[in-house]
Amino acid sequence: MASVPWLRRLLLGVALLVVLVPALIGGCVTWVYTGAAISTAGSTDFRNELAIPPLAEGALDPDGTRIFDLEMRTGRKEFRPAQTTETWGFNGDYLGPTLRARRGERVEVRVRNALPEASTVHWHGMHLPAAMDGGPHQTVAAGASWTPRWTIDQPAATLWYHPHPHGATEQHVRRGLAGLFLLDDENAESLSLPAEYGVDDLPVIVQDVKFTGSGFDNAHRIFRNAGFLGEQILVNGTLAPYREVGAELVRLRLLNASTARIYNFAFADERTFALIGTDGGLVPRPLTLDRVQLSPGERAEIVVRMRAGERTVLRSNPLDAGLDFWNQRFSGGDDRFDILELRAAAALRPAPPLPAALAALSVPDGAQAARERHFDLNLAGINNVPMAMDRIDLTVTRGSTEIWVVRNADGMPHNFHVHDAQFRVLSVNGGPPPAPLTGAKDTVFVAPDSTVRLALRFDGPADPDTPYMYHCHLLWHEDQGMMGQFVVVEPGQAAGAPPGHGH
């Protein structure tokens, strides 16, 4: 061997490679894995007063229609002292006003797009005609306007609005386009619940962000197959927020307006709270909980009891979402965030106990279901078919109830959102749904390898040519094609063709 030194060198080189390369790769993976968990829990200096989005009650037209104006525009905002970030917002730099209307009212929203590109405005959770829904078919070109009108015909609820342009929803929402749309009704108004907007009834719009010099850093990091995951939390556009409260009972309307991150909300001191509402409105009776998990698009209304002079911190804890070791870490499951500090005044306005009964559930129980459909969630597409603008995937009959069985056939987190209809979660993996899923829902988390059964009723109106959407609300997944379209038709009618698209 000594006679062929080049061979010895070669063998030594190969041996080194065999040892070093895996060690290097292993080292990198460990480094990336270790660096992937974020925690701001317990280390937040709550220095900014929580902003409350302005309440827009609109103007009443002589015929009684409530008219709102929304302009989508570019802006700049100082989230951090002396550093401006380029943003998008409705009627302002970031987020939008809270729209508010009452059941039975006719509303009209004059949407103007002053952005440099086309977008749409979708009313998430709203029961309304498909042509007013603001999905990817109701595009508003740059400089153009769109004026949807409909009648509010559903129970009091915390809904929201955001853009829905096909393939670009994640980026449009990330830049700041989102707002709340609160609905009231006679029943909710008759209950003694904290209901003074911005005082004892606080909007809590939760988003994760990452900043660069003058903008948001919206890049997806390695292995984050959920989509964008940020490192800091904004609540109503405020970093490290606190809010002073002056009542014993405080209602928080939690909205997960993040594009991929799932939150597991709880108080740092582990106090319990009452869950009073889910996506579609009030639950039948207050439910005492110490955790509520929300995936993107979901809402929860909770009521927390405060003692004079104390402070408590709303937090997001590591997820209990059935994710495997890898996804738990790389989909943000191990992250912990301080969300909002509540500071109680030295003397608090006394509040009566919560009512024992809140509202009757308006979602069907599935007993009269006309049919059952199956949806397999996969990043490649729902039932393995990516979204196509010119293909209607399902036709449902107006007035009928259906059972939709949704299975996460993927290793990664997904959820499922249906436009127009609220649903009841009948079961999760064959068992009764957990308490936070017992109210009306329009978005539900579906853990890897699990199945949810939903009952929904399609109350129309029929429009065979204009589809509603169903999709994963992790918005990058939606943009990748995890979306399908359904139309509502009269009995016996066939689906038409979506107007002005495809071919």
- Residues present in the chain in total: 503
- 122 scored as a contact of ligand C2O (CB under 6 A): yes
As given in the structure block, the two tokens for residue 223 are: 């292995």
How far is residue 341's CA from residue 307's CA, in Å, rounded to a whole number? 14
Residue 297 site contact among Cu ion, ligand C2O, none (CB < 5 to 8 Å, cut-off depends on kind)? ligand C2O
Interface segment toward ligand C2O; rule CB under 6 A; list 81-89, 212-220, 429-437, 469-477? 469-477
86 vs 459, beta carbon nearer Cu ion: 459
- Select 293 or 485, whichever has its Cβ closest to ligand C2O: 485
Question: Closest distance between Cu ion and the C-beta of residue 247, in Å?
Answer: 32
Instruction: Give yes or no for a contact between 351 and 194, defined as CB atoms under 8 angstroms apart.
Output: yes
- 167 is written with which tokens? 């393939």
Residue from 329, 414, 417, 453 binding ligand C2O (CB under 6 A) = 417
The contacts of residue 445 (CB under 8 Å, 6+ apart) are 262, 293, 295, 298, 321, 413, 415
- 180 vs 247 by CB, closer to ligand C2O: 180
Q: Decide: is 124 part of the binding site for ligand C2O (CB under 6 A).
A: yes
Residue nearest to ligand C2O according to CB distances in the complex: 124
Q: Do residues 175 and 90 touch, judged by C-beta distance below 8 A?
A: no
Instruction: Identify whether 155 is preceded by a cis peptide bond (ω within 30 of 0).
Output: no
Candidate residues 471, 472, 489, 498; the one interacting with ligand C2O per rule CB under 6 A: 471
Comparing CA positions, the residue from 337, 336, 340, 289 lying closest to residue 311 is: 340
Q: Which does 474 bind (CB under 5 to 8 A by kind): ligand C2O, Cu ion, none?
A: Cu ion
> Taking the CB of residue 450, how many other CB atoms lie within 10 A of it?
15
Q: Please identify which residue in 103, 127, 137, 164 interacts with ligand C2O, judged by CB under 6 A.
A: 164
User: Smallest distance, Å, CB 313 to ligand C2O?
Assistant: 28
Asked whether the CA dihedral 371, 376, 230, 262 is positive or negative, the reply is: positive
Using the rule CB under 6 A, give the single segment among 97-105, 264-272, 465-473, 486-494 that binds ligand C2O. Answer: 465-473
Q: Which two tokens stand for residue 479?
A: 């943009």
User: Which partner in Cu ion, ligand C2O, none is near 472 (CB below 5 to 8 A by kind)?
Assistant: Cu ion
Among 121, 233, 387, 469, binds ligand C2O (CB under 6 A): 469
**Closest listed residue to residue 262, CA positions, set 327, 165, 196, 194:** 327
Which residues of this chain interact with ligand C2O, rule CB under 6 A?
122, 124, 162, 164, 297, 417, 419, 469, 471, 473
